[in-house]
Amino acid sequence: MKKRFTKKNIFLYLVVLFILIQVFRIDKSTKPIHVETDFIAMTLPNPEITNILKVACYDCHSNQPTYPCYTNIAPFSWWIKHHIDEGSWHLNFSEWGTYSEKRKNHKLEESIEMIEEGEMPMYSYTWMHTEAKLTDTQKLQLVEWFKVVKGANKPQ
């Protein structure tokens, strides 16, 4: 007699698969902080801008992401780790001091554009981190700060 795939069997296979993938953990190690290359340390924003950057940007765009408890569950952990890796590859505020002036200006232009178009912070992040959802005023403040920093990066 042939064994059929019943709803019960499929469910059991999925449960076993879910349990098995928990073995594949993400790397949660962080790189050391170097104050001399960090964006906040180098640009000295006011406390309000500093808070916005740390709450809405630094988790994905620095070497010091925080990993909430749900990052212990695969496949969610893989998805989040991918976002963090991709975000810090595109823009890493912890390594700001290592960027050339041209790259800094380009990253500031991109950041301004992404904020103005509502692409950053990402909805998938603000959905779980409601404190990172920026108000229109906060977006404007951050954009204005980036413009000030961009102006300071112009060659004399």
**Interval 81-115: pLDDT, tens:** 999 999 999 999 999 999 999 999 999 999 999 99
**How does pLDDT run across 37-88, given as a tens digit for each residue?**
999 999 999 999 999 999 999 999 999 998 988 889 999 999 999 999 999 9
Alpha helical stretches, state H, the chain: 7-21, 39-43, 47-56, 76-90, 101-116, 123-128, 136-152
From CA 55, how far away is CA 72, in angstroms rounded?
Answer: 21
Determine what percent of the chain is predicted with pLDDT higher than 90. 78
pLDDT at 152 over 50: yes
Provide the whole-model pTM.
0.83
Residue extents of the structural domains in the chain: 28-152
End-to-end CA distance of the chain: 83
Residues whose CB falls within 8 Å of the CB of residue 39, separated by 6 or more in sequence, listed in order: 53, 93, 94, 96
Q: How confident is the model at residue 151 (pLDDT cuts 50, 70, 90)?
A: confident
